[in-house]
């Protein structure tokens, strides 16, 4: 099974029209950091809910995904969206320095080749452009809370899950810095203090 076939199968199993996890929280974070008129790439856009939000806020946005099914759903919801199928490996079909900002909502944890993926993202982002992302939070305290329940721990770290990477604030900052980003800001969000399940990050593409 190819990577694309795998992700198509995943999407076929997802009911259509579900709200993304923590949608309102993540949308507020994103729209506070992207201005009207900016050219934005919503990478791993899924059914396009954030693509819609960015378009409605006045951004010039492209929603991109490696699977056709979520793009079909996004197009059925909003026929005016600019949507792009991209390969599951290799270069994306965008020129260098095309975008002012990139949004990657709950995508990074699914990426096998993290260095290659972030390098490609950096390539299409203009010098001084910003990456905004969300990913599950795996700070030590949150993992300890999960470990109090064998069932929850086993479910969260299911070896058949499509989550391949697990980030804390420190590890996320480290990989972004290593791959050419600076002015990195990361906050834990959602849930209860001490066990926030979400990381929200913003970083500047280094100008070298």
Domain chopping of the chain, boundaries: 3-205
Mean pLDDT of 13-23: 94
- Give pLDDT, residue 89: 87
- Listed in sequence order, the DSSP H helices in the chain are 3-12, 23-31, 49-56, 68-77, 114-124, 140-147, 150-156, 169-178
How far is the C-alpha of 49 from the C-alpha of 137, rounded, in Å?
22
pTM for this entry: 0.92
pLDDT tens for each residue of 124-147: 999 999 999 999 998 755 656 665
Mean pLDDT of 13-29: 95
pLDDT tens for each residue of 147-160: 566 776 556 556 66
For residue 115, how many C-alpha atoms fall within 13 Å in the half-sphere facing its CB?
A: 1
Q: Are 27 and 6 in contact (CB under 8 A)?
A: no
- Give pLDDT, residue 147: 57
CATH of region 3-205: 3.40.50.150
Tokens 């990577």 sit on residue:
3
Mean pLDDT of 52-77: 98
């Amino acid at each position: 099974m190819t990577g694309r076939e795998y992700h198509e199968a995943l999407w076929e199993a997802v009911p259509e029209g579900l709200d993304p996890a923590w949608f309102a929280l993540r949308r507020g974070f994103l729209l506070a950091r992207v201005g009207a008129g900016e050219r934005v790439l919503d990478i791993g856009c899924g059914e396009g809910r954030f693509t819609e939000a960015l378009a409605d806020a006045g951004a010039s946005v492209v929603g991109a995904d490696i699977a056709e099914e979520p793009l079909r759903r996004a197009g059925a919801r909003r026929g005016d969206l600019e949507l792009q199928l991209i390969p599951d490996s290799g270069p994306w079909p965008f020129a260098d320095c095309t975008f002012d900002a990139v949004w990657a909502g709950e995508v990074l944890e699914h990426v096998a080749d993290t260095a290659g993926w972030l390098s490609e993202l950096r390539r299409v982002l203009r010098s001084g452009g910003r990456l905004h992302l969300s990913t599950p939070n795996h700070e030590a305290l949150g993992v300890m809370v999960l470990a109090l329940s064998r069932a929850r721990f086993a479910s969260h770290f299911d070896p058949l899950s499509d989550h391949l990477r697990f980030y804390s604030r420190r590890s996320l900052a480290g990989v972004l810095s290593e791959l050419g980003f600076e002015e990195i800001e990361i906050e834990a969000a959602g849930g209860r203090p001490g066990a926030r399940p979400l990381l929200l990050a913003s970083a500047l593409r280094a100008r070298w």
